[in-house]
Amino acid sequence: MTALVERQGLAPQPGRVAGFTAMVVVASPFVRETLSRALRSLGAAEVVEAGSLAEARVRGRGTPSRDLCVVDGALPDGSGIMLMSELRTLGWARGMVLSSVEDPYTVRAALTAGVRAFLVTPSATAHRRTPHSRGGVVGQARRPGHGGGAEGLSGREIEVLQLVANGRSNKDIGEALGLSALTVKSHLARIARKLGTGDRAEMVVVAMRAGAVV
C-alpha cells in the first residue's frame, strides 16, 4: 500500500475545537460508512456521503462548509480524479483520492487535478474499471479520436499540454506562451479531438504514456 497524506488541519489538537466538514464519495456503502466513521473520529463535525459522481456534484454544491473531500478514483459513472478537479472550483480545496491503480501517470494526473493526498490499496475501490467501462478511469487511457492521437500533436500543442501537465491554468498558459485566452482554448479543443478526451487530467495521462510530455 502506498500513501501520501496531508495531516495538517485534520486531527483535533489539544485546546482546539474540531469541526471540519468532509465529503466521502465512494460507491461501496460499507467503505463509505467506514471512512465516515474514521473522519468523525478525527474531529469532523459533518460528513456528507455520496455514491456516484452525479450525487457528489449535487451534494458538493449544497454543503456550505467545504474542508475535505475523499473520493474513490473509479466511480460507477465516471472518474473520481475528474470529479476532484470539478470540486476544487466549488471550494473543496483539500482532496484525497482512493485508487486501485498504482502508476506514476495516475498520480501525476491526480496532482494536476489538485489532489492533496493519494492512497493506493487493492481494497480501496469497490468498482475496478476496465478501459471499456462506461466513463473510464484516469490512468487507463481512452482510445485516441480520429485526430491521430498524441503523435498528431503540433509543437505548439505539446507546449500547451506540457503546461497543463505542470498544473498551469489557461490564463497562465497564455501568459507563458504569449497567447490570448481564446487561442489557448482553441489549442485545447484541438488537443481534445486528437487525444479522444476533453478532460485535462486524462489528456496529460494519454500524452505522458505516448512520451509527448514529461
Provide the CATH number for the domain around residue 156. Answer: 1.10.10.10
Grid cell listed for 202:
486524462
Please tell me whether residues 168 and 101 are part of one structural domain: no
Helices (H) and strands (E) in the chain, counts: 8, 8
Three-class SS state of 8: coil
Residue 16 has pLDDT above 80, yes or no: no
CA dihedral sign of residues 193, 55, 125, 96: positive
Please tell me whether residues 112 and 41 are part of one structural domain: yes
Please tell me whether residues 37 and 110 are part of one structural domain: yes
Helices 170-177 and 155-165, axial angle in degrees (round to 10): 130
51 HSE (CA, 13 A, CB side): 8
**Considering the domain boundaries, does residue 31 fall inside one?**
yes
Range of the domain at 164: 150-209
Please tell me whether residues 93 and 159 are part of one structural domain: no
Please tell me whether residues 99 and 180 are part of one structural domain: no
**Considering the domain boundaries, does residue 110 fall inside one?**
yes
| Cβ-contact 75, 83 below 8 angstroms | yes
Please tell me whether residues 89 and 41 are part of one structural domain: yes
Spatial separation of the C-alpha atoms in residues 88 and 81, rounded to whole Å = 11
Spatial separation of the C-alpha atoms in residues 142 and 24, rounded to whole Å = 27
Domain count, the chain: 2
Please tell me whether residues 11 and 83 are part of one structural domain: yes
Each residue's pLDDT tens digit, 158-197 = 899 888 887 788 999 999 999 998 999 999 999 988 888 8
Please tell me whether residues 25 and 106 are part of one structural domain: yes
Spatial separation of the C-alpha atoms in residues 131 and 144, rounded to whole Å = 12
**Considering the domain boundaries, does residue 57 fall inside one?**
yes
Spatial separation of the C-alpha atoms in residues 194 and 91, rounded to whole Å = 31
In this prediction, residue 6 carries a pLDDT of: 45
Pick the range with the lowest mean pLDDT from 23-27, 119-123, 131-135, 184-188: 131-135
| Cβ-contact 130, 140 below 8 angstroms | yes
Spatial separation of the C-alpha atoms in residues 137 and 106, rounded to whole Å = 9
Please tell me whether residues 109 and 163 are part of one structural domain: no
Please tell me whether residues 115 and 167 are part of one structural domain: no
Please tell me whether residues 97 and 41 are part of one structural domain: yes
